[in-house]
Amino acid sequence: MSEEISVPGTPGDERMRPVSTGCALRAEGSLTVLISTHDRADLLARTIRYLNEATRPHGWSVDILVIANACADRTHAYLSDYAARARPDVHAAQTAALPLRWSAEPTVGKSHAQNRAITMLTSDWVAFVDDDHRVAPSFLEQVCDAIAAYPGADIFCGRILPDWDGSEPAWVHDTSEYRIYPLPVPRYDLGDAPLPAPQDKVIPGGGNIVVRTRLFPRVGGFSTSYGPVGDNLGGAEDREWLERAIAVGAQLQYVPGIVQYHYVDPARLTVGYLVRKAYERSASVVRLSAVNVGDATIPRYMIAKTARYLVLALGSVDPRKRRFHVVRLAASVGEVKGRLQARKDLRDRAAGAGSPRA
């Protein structure tokens, strides 16, 4: 594709200053909300319900694209029924159900689903929404306002907030030295002010990003070596893709008004889940970082840290401290796993077997 994307400018670059806010400046455009799902028909229906309840941006064409990834539950039946009922109605554009397209991706793995979706996109922009999220009532309007306000941006990221309801255990709100991280429910929040280049603070996850679709031919698809496969807790496919997008000059913009809330599954509020998530996510992040720098050695500090947390976990009597040390131990072991995985990736690359990127 010959069309060039915008290249990051200097801090004073006029393109990254907000032009204005409010509905009046919205240019007509098209937006697809993309949802990849695996065997969570009830949560998917909940996510789509909140999308339909969101205020519609005037002058914009909005639709939903769902990729059913190796689903064996009633997801296909639900999507077929919804698509049949939600036929376009130009006379009720602001009240009719959002039109929906869907496709089945039989190869298990979120990256496979995302890559199928890329081939089906026809809109100017795509908003990524996870199947266990609910969007804020102003979500669609905020997305379209941001596109108009920051014409130099290629990727927007907003907030992902846990959808706490008060029934969660107190430890999820602990901010002391023994706070649990990563939390069992994702959170991405850089504050109340818009921020250019949010990746300089924290690279956003893929659960709430909005992408100019003409980026995909330049950046490529999502790496199938990373990311969740079925119900496992792997990750980093979104981070890896965003790093490649930044490398080709994509401009990111954080917009705090673009908000999604992550469903709080009570089954995740257990030590067992915390341990699995800390282990798998640490492995994914460290693997990606090690491959990027081309160094998969296991440093002594990593082994020492693992041993330290093992001793602390075995010797902790206080439940709060024990939980913290056990989770940190799992994350440390995951870091070692990530280095070992990266070692194989680099060997394969050197042997000409290709890189882990799509």
User: Any idea what the CATH number is for the domain that residue 87 is in?
Assistant: 3.90.550.10
Do 172 and 28 sit in the same domain of this protein? yes
Do 287 and 217 sit in the same domain of this protein? no
If you average pLDDT over residues 122-149, what whole number do you get? 97
Do 250 and 317 sit in the same domain of this protein? no
Do 257 and 276 sit in the same domain of this protein? no
- End position of a domain, from candidates 267, 289, 304: 267
If you average pLDDT over residues 139-158, what whole number do you get? 97
> Is 165 within the bounds of a domain?
yes
Task: For residues 156 and 197, give the distance between their C-alpha atoms in angstroms, rounded to a whole number.
Answer: 10
> Is 6 within the bounds of a domain?
no
pLDDT digits (tens, 9 = 90+) for 190-245: 999 999 999 999 989 888 999 999 999 999 999 887 766 655 556 678 888 999 99
296 pLDDT band (50/70/90 cuts)? confident
Which residues does residue 157 pair with via DSSP β-bridges, in sequence order?
209, 254
Count CA atoms within 13 Å of residue 167 on its CB side: 8
Domain count along the chain = 2
> Is 191 within the bounds of a domain?
yes
pLDDT digits (tens, 9 = 90+) for 56-76: 999 999 999 999 999 999 999
Do 161 and 63 sit in the same domain of this protein? yes
Q: Determine how many CB atoms are found less than 10 A away from the CB of residue 186.
A: 20
If you average pLDDT over residues 246-275, what whole number do you get? 94
Q: What's the confidence (pLDDT) of residue 233?
A: 56
87 pLDDT band (50/70/90 cuts)? low
If you average pLDDT over residues 305-333, what whole number do you get? 95
Residues 194 and 256: beta-carbon distance below 8 Å: yes
Name the residue range of residue 332's domain: 271-350
86 pLDDT band (50/70/90 cuts)? confident
Residues 337 and 284: beta-carbon distance below 8 Å: no
Do 308 and 172 sit in the same domain of this protein? no
> Is 146 within the bounds of a domain?
yes
Which amino acid is it at 282?
S
Q: What's the confidence (pLDDT) of residue 277?
A: 86
Do 240 and 276 sit in the same domain of this protein? no
Give the residue with greater pLDDT, 31 vs 238: 31
Residues in the chain: 358
90 pLDDT band (50/70/90 cuts)? very low
Average pLDDT score, the chain: 86
- End position of a domain, from candidates 267, 291, 309: 267
- End position of a domain, from candidates 244, 267, 290: 267
Do 302 and 317 sit in the same domain of this protein? yes
